[in-house]
């Protein structure tokens, strides 16, 4: 059985999904959480392109991916800015410490 490029891309999508989810579930460092989130967004972008290729609407998928890039940059910037603030005010990046806000 030969692997077509699309199949390989889909395999990549699922790998990224697994890595991203694992990161969100297991990691406690806020910076690493943001990295995991970024991996998930990359997964979404990749799957957009792959899906658009499968239905023969490549231009649509690519333009959507560019839009995701823009939104994603903003998310990353705000997330990292938050991380800096958390570090400065609470002196830690451990997200389980952040749940103190609840009390």
Partner 1 sequence: MIMSSWLIVLIIGVPWLGAVVLRLVDDRRAQLQHTLAAAFACITGAVSVALLFFSSGEVTLSLPLGEVFGVFTFVPDAFGVSLSAIAAAIGFLAVIFSVDYMQGEAQLGRYYSFILLFIGAMVGLVLSGNLLLLFFFWEITALCSYVLISFYNDDPNAVKGGLQALIVTQLGGVGLLAGALLVQANLGTYQISTFLAEAHTLPVGVLSLTAFGCLFAAAAKSAQAPFHYWLPGAMEAPTPVTALIHAATMVNAGVYLLARFYPAFEGVPGWKTAVVAVGSITALIAGIMAITAVDLKRVLAYSTVSQLGYMVYAIGVGGVFASQFHLFSHAIFKALLFLAAGTVIHSVGTRDMRQMGGLGKSMPFTRAVFIIGSLALTGIPIFNGFWSKELVLESGAAVGPNWAYIIMLIGAGLTAIYTIRMVWMVFYGTPASEEHYHDAAPFMRVSLSVLASGVMVGWLLVGPFGQMMERTLPYHHLHVLTLPELFSEAFRGAPLTLTIVFTGFALYLLLRKFTALWDQFDWLVRFADLDFGFSWLSDRFAGAVQGVAESVRVTQTGQLNWNIFGLVLGLIVILAVLIVGAA
- List of residues contacting partner 1 (CB under 8 A): 21, 24-28, 33, 95-96, 98-99, 101-102
Render the burial of 4-42: b for 16+ CB within 10 Å, e for the rest: eeeeebbeebeebbebbeebeeeeeebeebbbbbbbbbb
Closer to partner 1 at the Cβ: 68 or 95?
95
Q: Least separation, in Å, of the C-beta of 20 and partner 1?
A: 10
For the bound state, the minimum distance from the C-beta of residue 28 to partner 1, rounded and expressed in Å, comes to: 7
Closer CB to partner 1, 28 or 57, in the complex: 28
């Amino acid at each position: 059985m030969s692997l077509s490029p699309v199949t390989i891309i889909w395999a990549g999508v699922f790998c990224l999904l697994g890595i991203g989810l694992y990161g969100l579930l297991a990691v406690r460092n806020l910076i690493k959480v943001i990295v995991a989130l970024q991996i998930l967004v990359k997964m979404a972008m990749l799957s957009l392109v792959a899906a658009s290729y499968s239905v023969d609407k490549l231009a649509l998928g690519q333009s959507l991916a560019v839009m995701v890039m823009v939104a994603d940059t903003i998310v990353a910037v705000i997330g990292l800015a938050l991380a800096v603030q958390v570090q400065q005010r609470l002196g830690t990046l451990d997200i389980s410490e952040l749940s103190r806000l609840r009390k």
